[in-house]
Amino acid sequence: MALGGAITALFAGLGYAVHGVNRSGAVAGAAVCFALFAAAGPAAFVALLTLFIVTWIATRVGRSRKQRLGTAERGEGRSASQVLANLGAAALCAVLYAARGEAWWLLASAAAMAEAAADTVSSELGQAFSRRALLITSFEAVPPGTDGGISIRGTASGVLAACVMSAVCVGTGMIPMRWGSIAAAAGVCGMLVDSLLGASLERGGVVGNDAVNFASTVVAAVLGGLGASFVS
């Protein structure tokens, strides 16, 4: 536990130092980090660190253009609610794995992290490199950064991010190779659900972005867990 506490402190400090999270986000990130490390070991921490690095880079690519669009990430970093919305499901699945000893919970956790990476990267790079987006529900042309808007470049980037996260989870031994494609596919499906919810519920003012992000990671986790029953 001492090692987990030290790694947690370093991770939270790093996130705050590079403005990936604000103070409340650092506290929430520390809680998530400790839960993942304590429940699923170093492999889960490496996956979390990879997710942080990938999304941190994505938020800073094309930042000047995103600032002009008014969609850039806040300079102080993500808040506690944003951190938990993106990582809460993954941490909970890891804790349930530790409590129940069923390996498919790790696949669910990996799928949730793949979705978090895919959603952030697709949104950030889509805004940075796409001149227009299409609303996923109607294919109406909308400005990049619109809730529910998707683009070819953004979506392709998100798929790649999900694959990277899945590969890391396999490479570290968090999940076996036979589950790698399931984690990636579940992450991509969750990313598309995020866009659907954004175009309908969020755009309509029914729910906020944090709720959409959390729901999408839960969908990815559920799909990952269900996928494990088909590839034993």
pTM of the entire structure? 0.94
Rounded to 5 degrees, what are φ and ψ at 173? Answer: 90, 10
CA angle 99, 103, 105 (to 5 degrees): 65
| 3-class secondary-structure state, position 72 | coil
pLDDT tens digits, one per residue of 140-196:
999 888 999 999 999 999 999 999 999 999 999 999 999 999 999 999 999 999 999
State the pLDDT at residue 232: 67
Which residues are CB-neighbours of 207 under 8 A, at least 6 positions away? 197, 201
Tokens 């809730």 -> residue: 147
Q: How far apart are the C-alpha atoms of 147 and 52, rounded to whole Å?
A: 23
| 3-class secondary-structure state, position 102 | coil
Weakest mean pLDDT among 63-77, 149-163, 207-221: 63-77
User: What is the dihedral angle through the alpha carbons of 57, 63, 69, 74, rounded to the nearest 10 degrees?
Assistant: 70
Query: Strand locations in the chain, DSSP E?
Result: 133-135, 141-142, 149-150
Does residue 90 register a pLDDT over 80? yes
8 Å CB contact between 63 and 130: no
Would you state the structure tokens that stand for residue 55, as one six-digit string?
């999304």
State the pLDDT at residue 71: 63
8 Å CB contact between 174 and 110: yes
Does residue 1 register a pLDDT over 70? no
